């Protein structure tokens, strides 16, 4: 054989070299083809044996070796069997040791699930999946199938926990990430969003049903079981105080006394509870959606293909989620309307959103409180950056509540003003006024002040008066308030004497009690009540109504000019009617006494003695006029010119009529008539009006002119004598000529 052949290579697996199953290559000079090599020796022996002996010369050697081998096998079979068994066991233990992670994994998964160590389970599963997910070894496939079975059970468990309600946002995010890491089928995050949506709606309607049931059981009180203060969830105010973006300084519930909750109407308490419930659930619901949109819910190690699929889902789900939010807002608004504005919901929705069965309307005070609650809810939802178009229904609700609150407050104010007549004490101050005009103005001021927050427009809110219909209704209610008070005045002016519970009358201490008519046990007459009401009317016209118009304007009421005009017209109509009644009561007796007085004792203008002075009938008429002056002056100085002017007009008109009815006068008769007419005219000169001056002129023109200077002198002497003798009585007519007279 040529030495140029290369040495052979023997490759095999050695049980003693390196770690098990290590492949080795044996190179050796004794395996070569040289003269001393085993192969060369074998070849030489084969050649020699064939030549010298029959058959192979190594055959006998082979047979000997085989017998030796069989003998050895017989001798050492048991030992070798044990060795093989030991090797087999050792190999099996090596395999178990090497792959114990997979074999122990099903049990470890169960234990960690029971402990809630879902992160450990997921990590182990990911490791097993990467090592044995595609194995073809049957035992590995069997155990990996067990792992998959338990992981599937874990997926179902986590999904059940995810869809449980109530749950926290933290837990929801955690379970969604677990399911994402476990490559759960479907879209667990969206399923969670849907479950939360149904849960919120269910809570809202259950809240309403609970309050309605409680109302029917205890219509008088706010049930402690449903009391807001007993709610363990975060309150609306607590939530808002923690919202940095709102930055409000105080709570609308501050300063509430301990009995407040027992006085709260069920419907108002329900709205508070409802809004608190929504604000405790909706923020997490919204944040869950935001996390769903930006992908922060899912595992950072999720496959890109999965992320792309979720992006497609988000785009498809946006409209669905918008509908969910709209449904929650719709339910919130409808339930609130059913409680506070039952007439604003359709008949078909009354059962679902209403059912309160209350007969009385809520007062403006409680409506204002409810408005504040809804406003705070809107602010809190806005702080979550929920789009304004989804919150528009709440804005519409707030506007309707504000309008209703204004209407209810004005209606309630009218009812309060109706009762003001019961509070009239008839105590007159130095200006001739009772406390009634002040009480009236104060009542309206307080009413408008209670509406200050309601009328104020918060960001994004429209004016209460933006709708012409609302403007007209508010204007009519305002006019009604004024007219209700005017009606109260009219009722007071005509109240029977027996109904007046007044034992004294306060007057100006500087006013002389001319006739002792004001004393400790004084009781008002119908004429005095008329005067007091007239005095109040004058003050209302000059001050109160104008002040009220300013208050209306300050609070941005519309149609103020119309309110003022209509109210003033009604007030003036009442004033004129009461004034005419008073004049009729006072002037008619005086006027009626003139004619009998003139012709007393069969007096005849054609046949009478020379005049010696003013006759008694005229003095009596003057005394009666003085009595009217005293009565009016006692009540109100400002009414004196107005009243006396009208009384004197009536007297002068009657005197003129009587003079014109005389067919003829004798000289003495003419002088007597001129004396009496001039005496009356000069005495009341300060209260003469153009009408009364005209009447006196006509009366004098009906008399014959004085023919001689002696008659004129006598007339002047008699006039001076009358004024001197009646000086004390006529003092009340010596008012300053600058006194303004109202006609």
Digit-coded pLDDT (tens) for 453-492: 899 888 888 889 888 999 999 999 999 999 999 999 998 8
620 versus 13: the higher-pLDDT residue is 620
Q: Which pLDDT score is estimated for 57?
A: 58
Question: What are the counts of helices (DSSP H) followed by strands (DSSP E) for the chain?
Answer: 25, 2
> What does the pLDDT average to over 269-290?
89
Measured CA to CA, the distance from residue 694 to residue 649 in angstroms comes to 9
Instruction: Check residue 181 and give left, alpha or beta (phi > 0: left; psi -120 to 50: alpha).
Output: alpha
Between residues 141 and 171, the one the model is more confident about: 171
Give the end-to-end CA distance of the chain in Å, rounded to a whole number.
162
In whole numbers, what is the pLDDT of the chain averaged over residues?
78
Q: Contact, 226 vs 273, CB < 8 A?
A: yes
Task: Say whether 497 sits in a helix, a strand or coil.
Answer: helix
Average pLDDT over residues 553-577: 92
pLDDT computed for residue 589 by the predictor: 93
Confidence (pTM): 0.72
Tokens 């209403």 belong to 354
592: its two tokens: 């009626």
662 φ, ψ (degrees, to nearest 5): -75, 130
Query: What is the structure's pLDDT at 512?
Result: 41
The H-or-E segment that residue 24 falls in is: strand 23-26
Which of 289, 281, 377 lies closest to 333 in space, CA to CA?
377
Quick one: average pLDDT of 345-360? 75
| Of the candidate ranges 235-244, 401-410, 694-703, the one whose mean pLDDT is the lowest | 235-244
What are 584-609's pLDDT values in tens digits?
999 999 999 999 999 888 888 888 88
CA pair distance 510, 431, nearest whole angstrom? 12
Residue recorded with tokens 């339930």: 335
**From CA 492, how far away is CA 421, in angstroms rounded?**
7
CA pair distance 571, 140, nearest whole angstrom: 104
Q: Using the CB atoms, write b or e for 579-603: b if 16+ within 10 Å.
A: bebbbeebbeebbebbeebbeeeee
Residue 96: its pLDDT value, please?
56
Residue 524 has pLDDT above 50, yes or no: yes
Reduced to 3 states, what is the DSSP secondary structure of residue 25? Answer: strand
pLDDT for the residue 58: 65
Predicted confidence band at 23 (pLDDT cuts at 50, 70, 90)? low
Predicted local distance difference test score (pLDDT) of residue 332: 92
- Identify the three-state secondary structure at position 72: helix
Q: At a CB cut-off of 8 Å and minimum separation 6, what does 704 contact?
A: 665, 667, 670
pLDDT tens-place string over residues 497-508: 545 554 444 444
CA distances from 168 to 154, 171, 216, 285, 287 (A): 20, 5, 34, 10, 11
Confidence tier at 38 by pLDDT (50, 70, 90) = low
What are the CA-CA distances from residue 531 to residues 470, 551, 559, 738 (Å)?
A: 39, 28, 32, 23
Sign of CA dihedral 614, 615, 621, 624: positive
β-strand partners of 642: none
Residue 10 three-state SS: strand
3-state secondary structure at position 23? strand
Instruction: Please give the pLDDT value at position 521.
Output: 41
Nearest alpha-carbon partner for 650 in 598, 701, 696: 696
What is the SS3 assignment for 402?
A: helix
> Measuring CA to CA, which residue among 692, 620, 621, 704 is closest to residue 662?
704
With DSSP H G I counted as helix, E B as strand and the rest as coil, what are the percentages for the chain, rounded to 5? Answer: 70, 0, 30
- 591: number of CA atoms within 13 Å, CB side? 19
* pLDDT score, position 17: 53
């Amino acid at each position: 054989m040529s030495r140029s052949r290369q040495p052979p290579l023997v490759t095999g697996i050695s049980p003693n070299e390196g770690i098990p199953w290590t492949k080795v290559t044996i190179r050796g000079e004794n395996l070569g083809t040289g003269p001393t090599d085993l192969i060369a020796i074998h070849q030489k022996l084969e050649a020699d044996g064939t030549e010298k002996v029959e058959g192979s010369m190594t055959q006998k050697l082979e047979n000997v070796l085989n017998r030796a081998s069989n003998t050895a096998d017989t001798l050492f079979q048991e030992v070798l069997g044990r060795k093989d068994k030991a090797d087999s066991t050792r190999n099996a233990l090596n395999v178990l040791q090497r792959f114990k992670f997979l074999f122990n994994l099903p049990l470890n998964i169960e234990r960690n699930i029971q402990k809630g160590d879902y992160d450990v389970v997921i990590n182990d599963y990911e490791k097993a999946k990467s090592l044995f997910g595609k194995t073809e070894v049957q035992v590995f496939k069997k155990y990996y199938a067990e792992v998959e079975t338990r992981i599937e059970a874990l997926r179902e468990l986590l999904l059940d926990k995810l869809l449980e309600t109530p749950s926290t946002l933290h837990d929801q995010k955690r379970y969604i990430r677990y399911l994402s890491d476990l490559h759960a089928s479907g879209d667990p995050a969206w399923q969670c969003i849907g479950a939360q949506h149904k849960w919120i709606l269910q809570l809202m309607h259950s809240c309403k049903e609970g309050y309605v049931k409680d109302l029917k059981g205890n219509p008088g009180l706010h049930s402690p079981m449903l009391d807001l203060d007993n709610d363990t969830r975060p309150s609306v105010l607590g939530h808002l105080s923690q919202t940095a973006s709102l930055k409000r300084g105080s709570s609308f519930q501050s300063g509430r006394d301990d009995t407040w909750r027992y006085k709260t109407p069920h419907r108002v308490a329900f709205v508070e509870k409802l809004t608190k419930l929504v604000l405790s659930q909706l923020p997490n619901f919204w944040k869950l959606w935001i996390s769903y949109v930006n992908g922060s819910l899912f595992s950072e190690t999720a496959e890109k293909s999965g992320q792309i699929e979720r992006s497609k889902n988000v785009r498809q789900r946006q409209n669905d989620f918008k509908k969910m939010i709209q449904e929650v807002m719709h339910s919130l608004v409808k339930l609130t309307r059913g409680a506070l504005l039952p007439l604003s919901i359709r008949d078909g929705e009354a059962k679902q959103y209403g059912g309160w069965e209350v007969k009385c309307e809520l007062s403006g005070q409680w409506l204002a409180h409810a408005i504040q609650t809804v406003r705070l809810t809107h602010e809190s939802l806005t702080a979550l950056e929920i789009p304004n178009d989804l919150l528009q229904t709440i804005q519409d609700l707030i506007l309707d509540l504000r309008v209703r609150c204004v209407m209810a407050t004005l209606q309630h104010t009218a009812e309060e003003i109706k009762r003001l007549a019961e509070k009239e004490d008839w105590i007159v101050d130095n200006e001739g006024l009772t406390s009634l005009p002040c009480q009236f103005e104060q009542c309206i001021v307080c009413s408008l002040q209670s509406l200050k927050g309601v009328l104020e427009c918060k960001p994004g809110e429209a004016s209460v008066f933006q709708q012409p219909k609302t403007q007209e209704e508010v204007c009519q209610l305002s006019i009604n308030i004024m007219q209700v008070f005017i009606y109260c005045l009219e009722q007071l002016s005509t109240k029977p004497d027996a109904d007046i519970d007044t034992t004294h009358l306060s007057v100006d201490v500087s006013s002389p009690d001319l006739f002792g008519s004001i004393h400790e046990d004084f009781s008002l007459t119908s004429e005095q009540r008329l005067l007091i009401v007239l005095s109040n009317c004058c003050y209302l016209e000059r001050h109160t109504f104008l002040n009220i118009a300013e208050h209306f304007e300050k609070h941005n009421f519309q149609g103020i000019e119309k309110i003022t005009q209509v109210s003033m017209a009604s007030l003036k109509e009442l004033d004129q009617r009461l004034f005419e009644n008073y004049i009729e009561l006072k002037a008619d007796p005086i006027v009626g006494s003139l004619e009998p007085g003139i012709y007393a004792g069969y007096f005849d203008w054609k046949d009478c003695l020379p005049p010696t002075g003013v006759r008694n009938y005229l003095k009596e008429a003057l005394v009666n006029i003085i009595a009217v002056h005293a009565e009016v002056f006692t009540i109100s100085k400002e009414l004196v010119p107005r009243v006396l002017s009208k009384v004197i007009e009536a007297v002068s008109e009657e005197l003129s009529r009587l003079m014109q009815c005389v067919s003829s006068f004798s000289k003495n008769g003419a002088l007597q008539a001129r004396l009496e007419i001039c005496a009356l005219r000069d005495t009341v000169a300060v209260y003469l009006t153009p009408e009364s001056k005209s009447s006196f002129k006509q009366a004098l023109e009906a008399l014959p002119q004085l023919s001689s200077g002696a008659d004129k002198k006598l007339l002047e002497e008699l006039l001076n004598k009358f004024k001197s003798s009646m000086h004390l009585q006529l003092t009340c007519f010596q008012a300053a000529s600058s006194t303004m007279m109202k006609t």
